[in-house]
Amino acid sequence: MTNQTPSCPSAIPLLRTKLYPAHGEGAPLLERSALLERLQAAREQRLIVLSAPAGFGKSTVLSQWRRRLQAQGARVAWLSCDEADSEPPRFLQYLVAAIEAACPGVGRSASALLQGEVNWPIEAVIDAFLEDLKGIPGELYLMLDDFHRIRHPSLGQGARYLVERLPKHVRLAVSTRYQPRFLEEPPSLGGWAFWLKVEDLRLTRAETAAYFRDIKRLALDEAELNQLYTRTEGWITALHLAALALPRQHDRAAFLAGLSGSERNIADYLAEDVVASLPEALQLFLDQTSVLDEFNADLCNALTGRHDGRDMLRRLQGEQLFVIPLDEQGEWFRYHHLFAEFLQARLAKRGDPAHLLHAAARWCESHDLADKSIKYALRARDYAFAAELLERQGARLIAGNRVYGILAILKDIPPVVIAEQPVFQIFYAWQLAFEQKFAESEALIEEVSTRLTQGRGKGIHFGLIELLAAAQVLKALVLLYQDKLEACLKVAGHWLALVPQNQPVFRASLACVQAAAFALLGEFGEAAKAIAVARECLRECESEYLHVMASLIEALICKEYGELERGRALAEAARARVEQVFGRRSRVGGPLGLAYADLLYEQDRHGAILAELPLATTWRDVATPVELISRGKLVMARARFFAGAAEQGLEELDEWLSGLQGPGYERVFALGMGCKVQFLLWLRRPNEAQRIYMQLERHLAALPIERYGDAHTALALSQARLALSERRVEKAQASLETCLAKQGAEHQRDRRLRLSLLLSVAYWRKGNSEKAFALLRTTLEEAWQCGYRRLFQDEALWLLPLWDAWSSAEPKRAAAWQGVAEMLREQCRRLAVDTESFEENQDVSHREREILRLVAAGLSNRDIAQAVHLSEATIKWHLHNLFSKLGVRSRTQAVLKGKSLGLLSEA
């Protein structure tokens, strides 16, 4: 600050309103509880800084913390900073007034110096101010809101002098749009400060939901909420402005779909509050670079024709102008989506931005960023350049799974342009496949293949030959996705024989498709051979994406072999690779996450990955087959169901099953229906379970067991569970033994373990305890060693009575597995199953259950006898036994007890 300060006439009044937050009264504000807890935890820090662009709620959070501190008895001084008060004497006057408002009588020494006739050095006034602060008993929090508004050349020097000498019981908290530079100047004061930055202040999705529900009283469905949250990125001002506009919209879906930075309220806010005060050169820089999805200094220079890109980016960061860093080195950035769209609308008023997009395309091409170069060329409508780039680089982009952004733009290109360029047709076929328009995709692949091989249209050359091969890979993938496995293998095998050894990328791609098809057919030996071919090819080329896909298929094969730990290790290594190469939220990791979740669920280690699955299961395209999506959906439904939210888990499963009608879904539909039978039996709704089982049986009647072995195993398990619940032990045993006899291959261990576990229950129910206990022991030891945990818990309803019998018969052996017994009991408690009623339930025969259902229907003994073709005397004898087993004396009591035990459905 200046060495001398002019006297500050006392005639200039101070505005007392600046000594209190503007949010004191009025409309309710969203409570930022998580941030307040973090501030409370950091309250001992000398300096606390809330730093973010305009509209991120800094002042609101600071005022909420003020109220909390005051409620706890702390003294809090507040000053709302104003540019008009930037002169050092005026600013210090306000500081003194803020302290005096919180601590009456404090600040007289500094005030006397400021109001006297002598021009005291600022340091002397600050020293007097600090002496006044030392006299305050207890803690004091001095809060400076909108600190960025104080603009004076000596601000940094004076602020640093003050912070370095603050008494230990005084804390300084500031909110600012710009990062205070004096904190970073050597020696750095950063260690004294606690920061809340833009990434901390942006609303979470849960807070966004609470804001619309509790503050704005607007009902949004999940899709609307997701759309708003994605577009605004937690920027609370944008959410507020959208909330103001929503009630006036006749078509909310259209409004939300079109929400952008050019929306009037948002544009006005950004224009007046953010951009208007910036220098013209900086405004021009923002406009010109707004066409870029992401940028570094050199790319900015290529568009602006200047050489100050690095300085400009440093300034944007310092002033926090909605610029978001994309790497740890601080080289690459992007603008907030709404801010970029606002700038693009400004740029459009200057003229066509095609020259900027073309400059970006050329720069990206020269820096080996082919996918970005093609996107900018397409947006610039430089179709010839884009086609030429795609012909040269397209195969590499496909192998690296870097085509999503290109396809999103390509679908908006006029059809006549696509028809002119074979390479556009090939990529458009990929887009059709991603949209699950498989018939159209196949037809276009055939058309362009014929066009190229017959020499019609543009002459064929090496780049197009590569893409023609890529189109055949796509065709095989389309067939794989539709579960047309034999046709898929035919295409993959044919082209694998044709593609030369010097094309390892395509050979690896075709081998991966082959492996997946063989695995789904249950031919795991052939699948392993295909994976070996893919791995061999990948040693000769660079394709991180194909490495990940190979690991994904290997992990799925490990599951069938019962090698859970090896599969998990493969998946974890591949996920680490994806994060390193493609980024944490890359679409490449979606399919891998689904397979990984399936493995983790079996090991009962799935809790941490559940949050990833809703997004991963929405990517229903050719790169994420329905087989993987089904695994993710079943993991989510099972996790929710067995965690205790049974009805919700069943609803999620039903929602998934409702979309699996028609060809291509036979396998996943059967597995889902088997899961539903299990859920219904846990919920003691045997009638519904029987109906679903019969539907599953009809569904699989026309499907060959050789191809749908896993689905037929699900049928056998469902039949056995249903038979055991009805005390039809012979039927359960026969079903399980018949199916188990067909599972002798090494790769069928997973199925063998599931069948064997239930078969041990059937043996015990049949009275063959020695055989049951022996099978239970061997299955338990093998499954546990392989890493299975949920296998036992999910079957606790049937397994626990056998376990108790084994514990009584072989207490020493069972004692070693005491933890498993507790797991089984805990699972029953979660689903509100009374373990004491197991024996009552199991002692009721199938015939007695049938009679009980007829009693519940209101039939007389004579009517029941006619319905089941027995004598009336036999019916009376069955009812006598049934009443005795249930401990009841009347038909009404029997029906009520039957419902409570799950022998009858509640409906």
CA distance 668 to 287: 50
Burial zone of 822 (CB within 10 Å; 0-12 exposed, 13-18 middle, 19+ buried)? exposed
HSE (side-chain half, CA atoms, 13 Å) at 224: 17
Q: How far apart are CA 273 and CA 690, in angstroms?
A: 66
CA 669 to chain centre: 24
On whether both 112 and 145 belong to a single domain, the answer is yes
Residue 192 lies in a domain: yes
CA pseudo-torsion sign 232, 234, 235, 236:
positive
Q: What is the DSSP string of 359-411?
A: HHHHHHHHTT-HHHHHHHHHHTT-HHHHHHHHHHHHHHHHHTT--HHHHHHHT
Tell me: the pLDDT tens digits for 392-418? 887 777 767 677 777 778 777 888 888
- The more confident residue out of 871 and 183 is 871
Alpha helices in 380-503 (DSSP H): 383-399, 404-410, 415-420, 422-434, 438-453, 462-481, 485-498
- Express each pLDDT in 585-641 by its tens digit: 777 788 888 899 999 999 999 888 888 888 778 765 566 777 788 889 999 999 999
Together in a domain, 826 and 845: no
Task: Clarify whether residues 108 and 163 are in a common domain.
Answer: yes
| Residue 562 Cα to chain centre, angstroms | 28
Q: List residues bridging with 140 in a β-sheet.
A: 75, 170
Same domain flag for 854 and 759: no
> Is residue 761 situated within a structural domain?
yes
- Asked which of 24-28, 221-225, 707-711, 790-794 is least confident by mean pLDDT, the reply is 24-28
Q: Which of 233, 259, 285 is the last residue of a domain?
A: 259
Same domain for 788 and 855?
Answer: no
Which residue has better confidence, 169 or 522? 169
Q: Which residue spans within 652-732 are E strands per DSSP?
A: none
Residues 26, 132, single domain; the answer is yes
Q: 209 and 195, same structural domain? A: no
Q: What is the arithmetic mean of pLDDT over 141-165?
A: 80
Q: Where are the alpha helices (DSSP H) in 522-665?
A: 524-538, 544-561, 564-581, 589-602, 613-616, 626-642, 646-658
Give the span between the Cα atoms of 272 and 510, in whole angstroms: 56
In contact, 543 and 505? CB cutoff 8 Å = yes
Q: Quick one: 68 and 173 in the same domain?
A: yes
Same domain assignment for residues 43 and 127: yes
Q: Is there a single domain that holds both residue 758 and residue 738?
A: yes
Domain tally, the chain: 4
On whether residue 793 sits in a domain, the answer given is yes
Confirm whether pTM is higher than 0.95. Answer: no
- The pLDDT score that the predictor gives to residue 902 is 65
Q: Which one of 172, 201, 230 terminates a domain? A: 201
Q: CA–CA distance from 34 to each of 61, 286, 359, 474, 517 (Å)? A: 10, 34, 45, 47, 48
Q: How large a percentage of the chain has pLDDT more than 90?
A: 28
Q: Which domain holds residue 764?
A: 727-830
Domain boundary among 169, 184, 201: 201
What distance in Å separates the CA atoms of residue 534 and residue 445, rounded to the nearest whole number?
Answer: 24
Question: How far is the C-alpha of 8 from the C-alpha of 130, rounded, in Å?
Answer: 19
Which residues, in sequence order, are bridge partners of residue 333? 295, 325
What torsion, rounded to 10 degrees, do the Cα atoms 790, 792, 797, 798 define?
Answer: 150
| In a domain? residue 121 | yes
The tokens describing 287, both together, are: 């406009």
Q: Predicted confidence band at 671 (pLDDT cuts at 50, 70, 90)?
A: very high
Q: Which amino acid is at 79?
A: L
The residue with tokens 């195969």 is: 395
**Looking at the structure, do residues 110 and 172 belong to the same domain, yes or no?**
yes
Distances (CA, A) of 345 to 146, 272, 342, 669, 805: 29, 15, 5, 48, 75
For residue 103, is it within any domain?
Answer: yes
Percent of the chain with pLDDT over 70: 90
CB contact at 8 A, 799 and 757: yes
Task: Kindly state whether residue 868 falls inside one of the protein's structural domains.
Answer: yes
In this prediction, residue 202 carries a pLDDT of: 86
Q: Please say if the pLDDT value at position 785 is more than 90.
A: yes
Asked whether residue 182 is domain-assigned, the answer is yes
Strand 47-51 to strand 75-80: parallel, antiparallel, or no bridges (unpaired)? Answer: unpaired
Say if residue 325 is exposed, middle or buried (CB neighbours under 10 Å; 0-12, 13-18, 19+).
middle
pLDDT at 1 over 50: no
The CATH number of the domain holding residue 59 is 3.40.50.300
Neighbours of 743 (CB within 10 A): 19
> Would 275 be classed as within a structural domain?
no
| Sheet with 193-196, side-by-side order of all strands | 75-80, 140-145, 170-176, 47-51, 193-196
pLDDT of residue 836: 63
Gyration radius (Cα) of the chain, Å = 35
Lowest-confidence pick of 444-448, 477-481, 773-777, 834-838: 834-838
Look at 181 and 109; give whichever has higher pLDDT: 109
Preceding omega of 353 cis (within 30 degrees of 0): no
The answer on 233 and 143 residing in a single domain is no
pLDDT band at 299 (very low <50, low <70, confident <90, very high): very high
Cβ count near 171 (within 10 Å): 23
Closest CA to 92 of 124, 141, 125, 46: 125
Q: How far apart are CA 874 and CA 209, in angstroms?
A: 63
Residues across the chain? 907
Which CATH number covers residue 865? 1.10.10.10
448 Cβ contact partners less than 8 Å away, ≥ 6 residues apart:
422, 425, 426, 429, 468, 471
Per-chain mean pLDDT for the chain: 84
Task: Flag whether pLDDT at 127 surpasses 60.
Answer: yes
Position 458 pLDDT exceeds 70: no
Of the candidates 676, 701, 675, 672, the residue with the CA atom closest to the CA atom of residue 688? 676
